[in-house]
Structure 1
Amino acid sequence: MKSVETKLLDEADRRILLALQSNGRLSNAELAEATGMSTSPCWRRTRRLEEDGYIQGYRAVIDRNRLGLGVLVYVSVQIDTHSAEEANSFEKAVADYPQIVSCHSVGGSADFLLQVVCRDLDDYAEFSMNRLRRMPGIKAMTSSFALKEIKPFEGWPIL
């Protein structure tokens, strides 16, 4: 895990981050108005937040169901050995599959937790059997299917 030097955010920085996280398409004038600032200081603060790495980019939030990706699966993966070489090999293989939308190295009974999206159960079964299980170093994997999304990710808490 990367160690990141964190600078303290003041209230104006937090307002900017909250507003942009909610709507990344705000113009600087709209952002300034939403945060109670004038445009020049708002623009300078936003640029500083980008340069300091708090803001890493701007994206559209897309509905996966509208794309036909109706199945969301969390896959816990155990690897055979815990050598750096095997972990690196697994991590490189993960990058080859767009169906794997996130991958985290985790503690506990699993080594990695994947978030996978597919069209339907048949599509996931094919992906799981013909791709996931053939990735290097997998000892065991467990699939947990999301039945209902209770609280979707809408952004990080800005405390």
Structure 2
Amino acid sequence: MIDEFEKRILKMLQQNGRASTQELSNAVGLSSSPCWRRVKRLEDDGFITRYAAILDGKKLGLHAFAHVQISLIDHSEASLNTFHNFVENSEQVLECASITGDFDFMLKIAAANPEALEHFIMQKILRLGVVRTMTTNFILRQIKVAGALPIEI
């Protein structure tokens, strides 16, 4: 597992992924070399999977977001592979989760406008040939977009 210093490092990196080793070491109370070794170990052990910038979708012209619940026609390996490959290769799909209940998956999708979202759903998702049913809920306003995981220290 990870110790309290490493938890502090992770918490700090979630707030500022561009923090220098010196900034991290000052924030968590370690000298630079041990701090750098811990960050490297957290990366190597898969606690840190990647670094990314959080962008403002509206400034990029993305004004339509939706949660889309999907049920597949079956759960064969071919259907699941088709769906998973589509999700992995679609930039408009921001998130995908396997869920319980009446649907198999929940997607979060981004598009320039409602018409572009409709086009993506009708021309891309439904044309996969593996979707049985689907429900779309437009996101009216995003109140919190964090991406950071809770870390108990």
The TM tier, using the shorter chain, reads over 0.9
Contact 1:93–1:136 (Cα < 8 Å) also in 2 = no
Q: Is structure 2 residue 115 aligned with structure 1 residue 122?
A: yes
Alignment partners' CA distance in 2, 1:131 and 1:56: 29
Alignment partners' CA distance in 2, 1:93 and 1:57: 22
Alignment partners' CA distance in 2, 1:74 and 1:107: 15
Deviation, 1:36, is: 1.5
Deviation, 1:85, is: 2.0
Contact 1:90–1:136 (Cα < 8 Å) also in 2 = no
- 1:79 pairs, out of 58, 72, 76, with 72
Which residue of structure 2 lines up, in the alignment, with residue 3 of structure 1? none
TM-score scaled to structure 1, two decimals? 0.90
- 1:41 pairs, out of 18, 21, 34, with 34
Alignment partners' CA distance in 1, 2:73 and 2:85: 16
Alignment partners' CA distance in 1, 2:90 and 2:45: 30
Which residue of structure 1 lines up, in the alignment, with residue 125 of structure 2? 132
Alignment partners' CA distance in 1, 2:126 and 2:136: 12
Paired residue secondary structure (2:97): strand
Structure 2 residues not aligned, in runs of 5+: none
AA partner of residue 101 (structure 2)? G
Structure 1 residues not aligned, in runs of 5+: 1-7
Deviation, 1:131, is: 1.5
Paired residue secondary structure (2:116): helix
Q: Is structure 2 residue 87 aligned with structure 1 residue 94?
A: yes
AA partner of residue 91 (structure 1)? H
Higher helix share: 2
Instruction: Report the RMSD for the aligned CA atoms in angstroms.
Output: 1.2
TM-score scaled to structure 2, two decimals? 0.93
Deviation, 1:118, is: 0.3
Which residue of structure 2 lines up, in the alignment, with residue 4 of structure 1? none
**Number of corresponding residues:** 152
Alignment partners' CA distance in 2, 1:65 and 1:108: 32
Following superposition, which runs of at least 4 residues in structure 1 exceed 4 angstroms of deviation?
none
